[in-house]
Amino acid sequence: MVGVLHLSLSLSACYNRDMKHNKGVIEPINQAASEQTDLKPTPDRSQLADLYPKASERDGYLKEASKESDYQPVFLPKILAGCALFLPLPYMLLILGVDYFVRTTTKGNIFLHLPIIVLGLLFSVAFIYFSTKYVTKKLLFLRFNESAYLILYLLCMAPLAGALFGIAQTLNYAALILSAGLFCISLLLFLTIGFILSKPETKDGAKSISLIFMIAVCFIIEFVYLTFELLTS
- Based on C-alpha coordinates, what's the Rg of the chain? 47
Residue 39 pLDDT > 70 = no
Domain containing 99: what range? Answer: 69-232
Q: How many domains does the chain have?
A: 1
pLDDT band, very low/low/confident/very high, at 66 (cuts 50, 70, 90): very low
Lowest mean pLDDT among 2-6, 78-82, 192-196, 225-229: 2-6
pLDDT at position 203: 84
User: Is residue 110 over pLDDT 70?
Assistant: yes
What average pLDDT does range 158-163 have in this prediction? Answer: 92
Confidence of residue 17 (pLDDT cuts 50, 70, 90): low
184 is a domain residue: yes
Q: Whole-angstrom Cα distance, residue 78 to residue 80? A: 6
Residue 48 has pLDDT above 80, yes or no: no
pLDDT at 55: 52
Q: For the residues 86-112, what does the mean pLDDT come to?
A: 83
Q: Is residue 88 part of a domain?
A: yes
In a domain, 208, yes or no: yes
Q: Report, as an integer, the average pLDDT of 145-167.
A: 93
Please report whether residue 131 resides in a domain.
yes
Q: Is residue 180 part of a domain?
A: yes
Please report which confidence band the pLDDT of residue 115 belongs to, taking 50, 70 and 90 as the band edges.
confident
Answer whether residue 199 is part of any domain.
Answer: yes
Instruction: Please check whether residue 115 lies inside any domain of the structure.
Output: yes
In a domain, 96, yes or no: yes
pTM confidence score:
0.66
CA dist 214 and 98 (Å) reads: 31
Q: How far is the C-alpha of 173 from the C-alpha of 31, rounded, in Å?
A: 111
Q: Looking at the predicted structure, is the pLDDT value of residue 143 above 80? A: yes
